[in-house]
Amino acid sequence: MTGDEDERVSIPNGGEDERVSIPDGGEDAPDERGPGTDGDAPSDRDGGPASDGDGSAEREEPLLELPEDLRRELKDPMGPIETDAEVLLRDVSGPLYAVGDVVTYHFLRAGREPDVALVDGITKREAVDEAVRRAVTAGEVRDATNPPATITADLARALRRAIDADEPVTLFVDGEEDLAVLPAIAAAPDGASVVYGQPDEGMVHVRVDGEVRASVRDLLERFEGDSDRLFSLLDR
């Protein structure tokens, strides 16, 4: 990728390959060789989602699955759109939660480490390049499992712990992090900013308050599965 091409990030769309262009500041992007190419895959450094003693099958079992009739609705942005991370950061006054490798990378380049970042090492259905992978996994990294078009108990527990952590945490998702924006908003405190990508437009900035949180929880209740169980994990 040359310096005059755009980097791309995902929108939470349940696994469809929709991407959004975000200017990369004119710097050349490295070759795309994603996580694990040098054998140092991200690890859960404090015991992570498995530390509560639950079996792996329960942790990884989807609590919610995205129904077909909601896929189009989720393509609509949930907040204002910005293409410049530095400009967006001027409107961030509380905790910052970033969903997506390249969204996270742009915040880091702008000098702001997200309080919680959710990444999966993938962009455009290919591994992110080495520079992006190293940048977004340079801090504390914890693992979570979340297959495409689902929200698992493992992701919900890991997200709750990351939000409660005293220091910034990156959740490296085995599967897909696209839908994680919804439980992130549902669990975020008032005043938090949740940011994700919108196809061909920029970064969506969701400022969380009671009304926004209630709207997202109503949306999650329309998924197939056990939304009450999800909320019980996010509200701990």
Q: 104-119 pLDDT, tens per residue?
A: 999 999 999 999 999 9
Residue-wise pLDDT for 32-85, tens only, equals 222 233 333 333 333 333 334 444 555 568 999 999 999 989 989 999 999 999
CA 210, 178, 151, 227 dihedral sign is positive
Q: Among 26, 6, 37, 9, which Cα is nearest to 178's?
A: 9
Count of residues for the chain?
A: 236
- pTM of full prediction above 0.85: no
Distance CA 29, CA 83 (A): 18
CB-CB neighbours of 88 under 10 Å: 24
Residue-wise pLDDT for 151-177, tens only, equals 999 999 999 999 999 999 999 999 999
Residue 123, classed as helix, strand or coil, is strand
What confidence score (pLDDT) does residue 48 get? 38
Distance CA 154, CA 94 (A): 26
What confidence score (pLDDT) does residue 43 get? 38
Domain boundaries in the chain? 7-30+78-234
Per cent of the chain over pLDDT 70 is 74
pLDDT band at 122 (very low <50, low <70, confident <90, very high): confident
